[in-house]
A and B are shown apart, each in its own frame.
Chain A
Amino acid sequence: MFSIITIAITGVLLLYLGFLKNRWIYISVAITGLITALALSVFSWNSLETSFSNMLIIDNYAIAFNSVMIFATILIFLLAPHYFKGIEKNVPEIYALLMFSLAGACMVTSFDNLTMLFIGIETMSIPLYILAGSKKFSIRSNEASFKYFIFSSLATAIFLLGITLVYGMVGSFHVGDISNYFTITKEIPSILKVGIVLLVISFGFKIAAVPFHFWAPDVYEGSPTLITAFMATVVKIAGFAAFYKLLSTCFILVPDSWHHLILGLSVLSLIIGNLAAIKQKDVKRMLAYSSISHTGFMLFAILSFNSFSASSLLYYSFAYALSTIAAFGVLMVVKNHMSADGSVQAFEGLAKKNPILAIVMTISMLSMAGIPITAGFFAKYYIFVSAIQGGWLWIVIIGILAALVGVAYYLKLIIAMFAKTSETEKIVTSPLYITSLLVATVLILIAGVLPNLIISLI
């Protein structure tokens, strides 16, 4: 609870510090605030907080996901000063909005009441509509903002309709009351099932699962890359954490109403995400489709509820967040350098131009592909184990095939980086930037070598 308040207050503080027009002041305040929030969050480990008139429940599950999200945001903020070099307009506002969005994301993971879930989702999304369009004079950015707004508000409307139907039958917004209803009631009315389906669909929009994914590539491509990194990591993790929690606490006893739906979403995301990613020329777009395919993998955890699935989801989120931030971090530099476009060709010869960036990108790509000794390998391994325990062997086979297809396009990028090129101009970055990327990379390797650190948490 205190970490959420800290994040929100840091956001307000940043707004006012913006008038000082000194970017080092507000970046340091932002990072300090985030580290404080992370510390507050970590120190409340094992101390269950529920005394908010049944609105929030901050258990270890919520704390673990919150910490991952706050940590991801810290890494993104470390990238920010270099990214915004030369652009001084509205930077503190962008930082503040990122903070508010993060506060919303933390509410989403720790909800105990559907109203709180709704407010959290809105608090998380509304700053993002603005952030996606924060490059005011770029048509692509405006398009991204508008598309994201339209589809996201449609999803919200569907979500509200779902909540309404659930409330109408159960008579309560409280998670505990809803799960009680299902233990008592034997014959579940069909309209309640429709409500659950609508909730699942709206979450499908939020986490960009096929066939509700069509906004994602355009939005990811059009938004400023830093914002895309935030969207692809924090927002997606928050969406998954809430989705998992909603289904596992409220609707676990009515699997027939949503199981097939999740199955369909997962398989389609795996197939379409990977096949579309191969065809992409633009790296950002490719990462967008690869993020869709990761959605497919992460849905395995929801498909197979057992004691292991929550921790496998956490591990996957952690690995995914680190590799995505590293990948987007490198992409940002490459894109800004000599105003190159974000195509695969732009990466040619990166190993010569800046070897550190090339190594970071390689490790992050290997992690995304799921090659051993990176975190990505164990992420996929645990999620497959969890699915097999749940009895979904054939789905795991599809997953393995999809992962093999995925290796192809990740390798394409790696090969391009180590290819020879006539152009050998060095790419320079700031130390802070490199620190952030190296931290992410090292953590990918540590988590890959010692997976038990995270997997045994919850």
Chain B
Amino acid sequence: MICAKVYTPIDYLPIMIQSFVVLGFVVTTMIATHMLGPKRNTKQKLENFECGIEGMGNARSPFSVKYFVIAILFVLFDVEVIFLYPWAVNFKELGIQGFVGVVSFSALLLSGFGYLMLKGAFDWEK
């Protein structure tokens, strides 16, 4: 780090106050719109939107497992990306040693990636 600045937890105080402010804003708007808007509930209005057809049963049906595989793979690669950030920040100091370390780390992961490609994990099954 080039900057001589000291980083302390106090840097994060604005985030907290910002979140309170925006929370306040959203809540106020919600309350305001409750007071302003009309309230005329009819049975038809409270139905789910179904293109004019009557709704049947529960809409929360199970869905394809493919999305789940995508989500799992995302977690794995996300962690890899996060591991790369501390390396990138220290890139020039770590030099060739860090480079070799990261390349050998990525090599295993990339070989896994190649395997996934060949296996057709990213192909959408019919």
Interface residues of A (CB under 8 A from B): 8, 12, 15-16, 19
Q: Does B58 contact A (CB under 8 A)?
A: no
* Chain A facing B: main interface SS: helix
Residues of B within 8 A of A8 (CB): 108
Do B111 and A15 touch across chains, with their CB atoms under 8 A apart?
Answer: yes
Do A16 and B115 touch across chains, with their CB atoms under 8 A apart?
Answer: yes
Cβ distance B42 to chain A, nearest Cβ, rounded Å:
47
- CA gap between A19 and B116 in the complex, in Å: 12
Residues of A within 8 A of B112 (CB): 12, 15
A5: nearest residue on chain B (CB-CB)?
Answer: B104
B115: nearest residue on chain A (CB-CB)?
Answer: A15
Do B111 and A12 touch across chains, with their CB atoms under 8 A apart?
Answer: yes
Residues of A within 8 A of B118 (CB): 16, 19
* B window 17-45: CB within 8 A of A: none
Cβ distance A142 to chain B, nearest Cβ, rounded Å:
14
Q: With A12-B108, A15-B111, A19-B118 given, can you name 9 additional A-B contacts, CB distance below 8 Å? A: A8-B108, A12-B111, A12-B112, A15-B112, A15-B115, A16-B111, A16-B114, A16-B115, A16-B118
Cβ distance B76 to chain A, nearest Cβ, rounded Å:
11
Q: List 6 A-B contacts (CB under 8 A).
A: A12-B112, A15-B112, A15-B115, A16-B111, A16-B114, A19-B118
Residues of B within 8 A of A19 (CB): 118
A92: nearest residue on chain B (CB-CB)?
Answer: B115
**Contact pattern, B 97-126, Cβ under 8 Å of A = 1, otherwise 0:** 000000000001001101100100000000
Cβ distance B72 to chain A, nearest Cβ, rounded Å:
12
Select the residue from A8, A15, A19 with max chain B CB neighbours within 10 A.
A15
Residues of B within 8 A of A15 (CB): 111-112, 115
- CA gap between A320 and B118 in the complex, in Å: 40
Residues of A within 8 A of B114 (CB): 16
Residues of B within 8 A of A16 (CB): 111, 114-115, 118
Select the residue from B112, B114, B115, B118 with max chain A CB neighbours within 10 A.
B115
* B window 57-99: CB within 8 A of A: none
Cβ distance A7 to chain B, nearest Cβ, rounded Å:
13
- CA gap between A284 and B118 in the complex, in Å: 37
Cβ distance B100 to chain A, nearest Cβ, rounded Å:
14
